[in-house]
Structure 1
Amino acid sequence: MKWLMRILFVVVAVLGLVIGALLLMPGDKLGAILAEQVKAQTGRDLTLSGDVRLSFWPVLGMETGPVRFGNASWAESEPMLSADSLAVGVDAAALWKGDLRIKRVFADNPVLRLETSEGQVNWEFGTSAPASTTNKTESAGTNEATGEVTLDQLELTNARLIYVENGATQMDFSGVTLAASWPEVTSPMIMQATMAVPGGAVEVDLKIPDLPAFSDGDVTALELSLTAPGGEIGFDGRVNLAGEMDGTTKVVARDSERMFAAFGQAGVYIPPGLGRKANIVAHMTYTQDGRISLRDMTAQLDNNRFKGEADIAISDPPKIVARLVTGDFDLSRISESEPTKGGTSKSSEPPVDGWSKEPIDASVLALANGKIRLTANSIAVPGMTFGKSDLTLSLDRSRAVLEMHPATLFAGQLNGQMVANNRNGLSVGGNITASGIDLKQALATLVGVERLSGSAAGSLEFLGVGQSEDQIMRSLSGKGNLDVGSGVISGFDLDRLMGRGTGSGGTTVFNSLTGSFTMDQGVLANKDLLMSLKNYRADGAGQVGLGARDIDYLFTPVALRANSGQGISVPVRIVGPWSNPSIKPDLTKVIEAAADVKVKELEDDAKQKVFEKVGSELDTTITDSNQIEDALKKKLEDEAKKGLLKLLGGD
């Protein structure tokens, strides 16, 4: 028994001496020993500055001053981890049993730099394995118990988190406070983080139910909730170490512009109808190559609700392929200017009569590439409303093509495409065919003319260049044609003008109207307008200033049954601005029509009476005005002869 007590005494004494030696060892010596052990286990350099203090029971712990932990050899020269101070403590009793129960990890002002490059990640550690490692690995299938690792408390104060992918910094967040806990191997790992951002703070709550499986690279469950100024983002699904995700995503934005600013996109202006307030729910899949797939998506953007699917490739700019279905899509306020801090529009200039000269900001065309197909019951845009429409918008390097197959507008249908190109200055163009168009509604909306109504069909090719509405309209070129069935012209009564009856209350009803036109430098020219009426035909020719918003047009109606079937024409000139053109008929023709006689007949009758009177006086027959002069000369010659004979004494 005495020998047992002696052995125990020796062991305690040795332990006491070791502990005492450690306690009395200078901090730099302790730091050097720890650095050597870390180097042996990870292959990375650990640099400890200042004193290193140890504790042994019940918590085996270490506290240091400034610390730097080296990066991977292939990564950048900056350390993977640095901090002003570091404190680590483990449960000594659990460690004695072979388990690593981390009681605490505290770090002040740490900087954590995570890097990836060509499939490598800097958070994987390793050195060349010793020869005995293989044997140990092969015997891992025995019943020998393996140690467990847990974490009671992790706290990072005022941390900076940097994520670098292939040499480019993708994320750089500072002012982060992070706390994590994983008290048991079978317990979920729970983490909370707070980060200061413009306008407030972002708070993150993360829960991984099976941390060991996640650490081994398995696909595991994940619950994520992110609260930011202006809204929240949530995810409930599965993830792996590569960052790939699959699950339900929900985005709620009560103030989208504030939310964008919180994530570093300050100054983003979202027009009404496109998501100043948003609520989006979808099944999301994210792959390691930066592709996002959204299925079973429901999106509420302001008062507009969509369903559909989308695929997004994260790039610069992003590429989007989407198919969306909606009911009534309201974009009637999309052209509103961005408000100033005072709450008013940036542009306070009073409206003027004419096209706007405000510069058009077409930079939105460069925000993304891709193709978006939209099916809607109606689409309201400033000044007009499309009916049921099927549209496809293609975006490619600041060039947008809108295909209509078909679009419903002005009670008719449009097929074809419109293009906006901002690669080298803004230009717009299109090639459109139309049928069943309400002409009055179309003209009133597009050019402010309300005098002509009917159902129209036709085609239009156009191209305009400029940085404002005014420049584009004054540069328009192209061609087209128009074919209108029965309709009405308001503003003048052709029956009354032609002297037939009382008219029809200031309107003219026609059976058909056809014509073609060309456009050059914002001026539309037409030479072949033909309008058919019951008793009339009307021809037209002239030009319409699309840029100047004026008209100079000669409209010539012909009364087909007048003049013994030869017809009577009454030209009408339409001159002036679109808003109030002057309509001036030829008054001479109006008088002719009203009296139902020809002015030429009156003139001929008057001449005949003059000829008869002069012929009677001159005792001859006059049928031509030239004969009057000849008859007068002859009469004077005869009278002169008579006078001369009398003077000479003759008979």
Structure 2
Amino acid sequence: MAKPLKIALVILGLFVTLVVVAAVGLVMTFDPNDYRAEIESIVEEETGRDLAMRGDLELSIFPWLGVETNDVVLGNAEGFGPDPFAEIGYFGVSIRLLPLLDKQIQIGTVRLDGMRLNLARDASGQTNWDDLIAASEAEDTEPEEPPAPSTETGFEITNLAVEAIEIDDAAVTWRDDSTGQRVALSDFSLSTGRISANATHPIPVSSRFVVSLSQPATTLTIDLVAKLAADTDAGQFTLDNLRLEGTAEGDAVPAGKQQFTVATSAQLDQPAGVAKLTELTVQAAGITLKGTADATELNGEAPQLSGQLVAERFNPRSVLRALAIEPPATEDNSVLQSATLDARFSAGGTSAEIRQLTLTLDDTTLTGTAGVQDFERQALAFDLDVDRINLDRYLPPPTESPETTDTDEPQGGDINEIELPLDVLAGLNVDGRFAIAELQASGMTFNDATLRVQGKPGQPLQQSLTAKAYGGDVSIENRVAGAADASPTYRFQGSLDELLFGNLLQDLVDKDWLQGKGLVTYDLTSQGRTVGDLRRHLSGTLQFGLSDGAIKGIDISRVLTAAESKLRGESTEAQAGGETRFNRFGGSMTLKNGVAKTTDFSAGADQFTLAAKGSVNLVSMELDYQLNPVLTAAPGGSRLDALVGKPIPVTVTGPVTSPKVRVDVKSLLRAEADERIEAEKEELRQKAEEERARLEEKVEAEKERAREKLRDRLGDFLQRGTDQSTEQTTTEPADGGG
């Protein structure tokens, strides 16, 4: 602003020169036109510019000493083209004569019409007023001879006053060849009331002008009124009741055209280096902003600014429409209807802060602090609290879509090709906390959620989230390193403790897959710049354990019934649906390059046990699992007694959103056949054993009968021998007596 002011003073000096020369001509010859050539020569000598006074100089004598002229042209600097530097259509000024006797200068109305000022900067950075400034500075630095001693009092001005200043049809153009920017001030008019030196009474000021910019193409039309009071000796200035009304038009202006109003009052104490802005009101696009501001240390190297800005209640939808922005379609049409703002701020040369912020949107209130702690390092800090918000109310309403496919890919594109917002994270210097007492998002409900974000350039960006949800506690730690690299790395750690997982999954993906309460912990890493990269490189471990719940979509009893029917030769398929209750459910997953494998899954209930192994491809979201349910007891009223204790192979394959459940009948039949063969073998072994025992018993009986016969015969033989011996003994004495 210093250089344009210098230019204005130079031009004003030229006009004063005209007045002085005209006064001299009046005294000496009373025909100032005889001195036009001399005036032009003096100007050329002082500035190096050509001055052409094409109109006549006209004088008035009493009671005003006045001079008027028109059609004055001042040439441009060398190298800036043929257009004149300045033109004046009409200039007139007069001084009251009689007050001069009292050493008072009372100037009448100063009129300036049709002024044209062409300012320019060439491609090298030189301006077409550099020579005027250099000439003025050279004159200021010329050594002055000390005044000769004098006993005369001299002509000391005790009072200077200007009745009014009237400027009409003025224009200033600015051309910057180094940037290509063009700025034009046109249709400028200015009107003031009485101006006097060091007067404390307010001076009414009114002005109207049009400003046009080429980059971007914008036109501003401004009307303003104000009252200005200035005590130049004390360096105190007051601007009261400023009211500015304007219109902005152009391609860069929302809706092509906007109207705005600014009203305020201001005070400046230059020696103290303080300024104050009061009663500020800004109205535009249906928003009314009110505020105050205080500036201190204006004379020092570190000026400070503080204040308050308040937005009265407004309708965000109406504001968007005023800006030619169609309000977003929302699930709940009652949102985006009411908002307010109250911010108390402070700023200095190196930092800026909103020290106290209160923002409301519909039935949500945000409070806290936020700021830039260091402009050079772009160090952001915030500490914000929200009482409650339902983000789902602000989402687009559901739309009718074609029949769902067996994938989870969005219509119109591959989710794996979505770029992650890493450019926002690269080089982020932040330390912040964001807490929400009650949050609903994607159908999920959280309480006492607190997000903390910390990161510095060249260091990993860390985020932690804690919350209470679904009857349990959520604790999540994420880290992103090398966000600006070709392949940034990630680490995800967390635990979901005592959560009701059925309610969580229902709200999260609108799928009732699982019911139960338990614990999930995970520690995962990945890398890449897209969702697909993140999925493909996901590795780590995940453990889970639930109790007293159910697996939804698979009814093990129904599957086993179908298996039993097939064993009996009936054509019955296992149908998906239903549920399988369990009292324990758990296992772990090992993830490597986007594939999650399970080898130790087990579940149990009162009448069955379940083991499983398999994998989930997280890129294609495809399942490939082998389940092995085993009945420990047949449900009452079922025909499953034949399956008790037998593992039934069940496969679960296909998309996660619609898995296919099949019973491996071949394996089941093979196992059944093997079991029958073993049973028949056992029966044959038993029959052979029985026959062997019978034969052995028969042989033993035959042996016993043979032994009996042998004993009988031996007894008979021994009996006969005894009888013969007895007979011989009896007959021998009779023979000896004869």
Structure 2: which amino acid aligns with 1:509?
R
Measure, in 1, the Cα distance between the counterparts of 2:69 and 2:273: 30
Measure, in 2, the Cα distance between the counterparts of 1:318 and 1:464: 29
Do residues 387 (structure 1) and 439 (structure 2) align?
no
1:648 aligned partner: none
Do residues 543 (structure 1) and 615 (structure 2) align?
yes
Do residues 484 (structure 1) and 546 (structure 2) align?
yes
Measure, in 2, the Cα distance between the counterparts of 1:571 and 1:254: 62
Measure, in 2, the Cα distance between the counterparts of 1:111 and 1:232: 38
Structure 2: which amino acid aligns with 1:487?
G
Structure 1: which amino acid aligns with 2:408?
G
2:656 aligned partner: 578
More divergent stretch after superposition (600-609 vs 481-490): 600-609
Q: Secondary structure at the residue paired with 1:489? A: strand
- Tell me if the contact between 2:95 and 2:106 (Cα under 8 Å) persists in the aligned partners: no
Do residues 237 (structure 1) and 293 (structure 2) align?
yes
Measure, in 1, the Cα distance between the counterparts of 2:278 and 2:120: 23
- Tell me if the contact between 2:295 and 2:304 (Cα under 8 Å) persists in the aligned partners: yes
2:239 aligned partner: 188
- Tell me if the contact between 1:474 and 1:548 (Cα under 8 Å) persists in the aligned partners: no
Matching of residues 370-449 of structure 1 within 5 Å: 370-382=430-442, 384-394=444-454, 401=461, 403-419=463-479, 422-424=483-485, 429-444=491-506, 449=511
Structure 1: which amino acid aligns with 2:292?
D
Measure, in 2, the Cα distance between the counterparts of 1:559 and 1:385: 38
Structure 2: which amino acid aligns with 1:603?
E
Return the offset for 1:384.
3.7
Measure, in 2, the Cα distance between the counterparts of 1:438 and 1:297: 36
Question: May I ask how many residue pairs the two structures share in their alignment?
Answer: 553
Over the residues paired in the alignment, what is the CA RMSD in angstroms? 6.0
Measure, in 2, the Cα distance between the counterparts of 1:380 and 1:133: 83
Do residues 221 (structure 1) and 277 (structure 2) align?
yes
Measure, in 2, the Cα distance between the counterparts of 1:371 and 1:530: 44
Return the offset for 1:308.
1.5
Q: C-alpha offsets along residues 81-119 of structure 1, whole Å, 9 cap, x if unaligned? A: 9766587777745996357898567776767899xxxxx
Matching of residues 271-420 of structure 1 within 5 Å: 279-287=340-348, 289=349, 291-301=351-361, 304-312=364-372, 319-332=379-392, 353-356=407-410, 357=414, 359-360=418-419, 362=421, 364-365=424-425, 369-382=429-442, 384-394=444-454, 401=461, 403-419=463-479
- Tell me if the contact between 1:365 and 1:400 (Cα under 8 Å) persists in the aligned partners: no
Q: Secondary structure at the residue paired with 2:502? A: helix
Do residues 248 (structure 1) and 248 (structure 2) align?
no
Return the offset for 1:460.
2.0
- Tell me if the contact between 2:381 and 2:430 (Cα under 8 Å) persists in the aligned partners: yes
Structure 2: which amino acid aligns with 1:205?
V
Measure, in 2, the Cα distance between the counterparts of 1:162 and 1:299: 43
Relative to structure 1, is the Cα distance of residues 603 and 54 closer, same or farther in structure 2, using a 3 angstrom cutoff? farther
- Tell me if the contact between 1:88 and 1:104 (Cα under 8 Å) persists in the aligned partners: yes
Q: Secondary structure at the residue paired with 1:544? A: strand
Return the offset for 1:527.
1.2
Return the offset for 1:392.
2.2
Return the offset for 1:471.
5.2
Q: C-alpha offsets along residues 562-608 of structure 1, whole Å, 9 cap, x if unaligned? A: 99xx96544433223222323344569989999xx974664345545
Measure, in 1, the Cα distance between the counterparts of 2:473 and 2:87: 70
Do residues 451 (structure 1) and 502 (structure 2) align?
no
| Unmatched runs of 5 consecutive residues or more in structure 2 | 1-21, 122-129, 148-155, 184-210, 214-218, 232-237, 562-576, 635-640, 697-738
More divergent stretch after superposition (384-393 vs 441-450): 441-450
Measure, in 2, the Cα distance between the counterparts of 1:271 and 1:422: 33
- 1:603 pairs with one of 680, 700, 705: 680
Q: C-alpha offsets along residues 189-225 of structure 1, whole Å, 9 cap, x if unaligned? A: 53636454522246453544445x3598432334544
- 2:535 pairs with one of 473, 477, 481: 473
Relative to structure 1, is the Cα distance of residues 367 and 606 closer, same or farther in structure 2, using a 3 angstrom cutoff? same
Do residues 16 (structure 1) and 26 (structure 2) align?
yes
Measure, in 2, the Cα distance between the counterparts of 1:108 and 1:366: 53
- Tell me if the contact between 2:491 and 2:526 (Cα under 8 Å) persists in the aligned partners: yes
Return the offset for 1:417.
2.4
Measure, in 1, the Cα distance between the counterparts of 2:363 and 2:86: 49
Return the offset for 1:556.
2.9
Q: Secondary structure at the residue paired with 1:440? A: helix
Measure, in 2, the Cα distance between the counterparts of 1:536 and 1:133: 117
Return the offset for 1:389.
0.6
Q: Secondary structure at the residue paired with 1:579? A: coil
Return the offset for 1:525.
0.8
Percent of aligned positions that are identical: 17
Measure, in 2, the Cα distance between the counterparts of 1:400 and 1:100: 71
- Tell me if the contact between 1:540 and 1:555 (Cα under 8 Å) persists in the aligned partners: yes
Measure, in 2, the Cα distance between the counterparts of 1:452 and 1:258: 45
Q: C-alpha offsets along residues 486-535 of structure 1, whole Å, 9 cap, x if unaligned? A: 32223445567779xxxxx9543333323221222322111122324346
Q: Which has the larger radius of gyration?
A: 2
1:529 aligned partner: 601
- Tell me if the contact between 2:305 and 2:347 (Cα under 8 Å) persists in the aligned partners: yes
Q: Secondary structure at the residue paired with 1:573? A: strand
Measure, in 1, the Cα distance between the counterparts of 2:368 and 2:53: 60
Return the offset for 1:387.
3.0
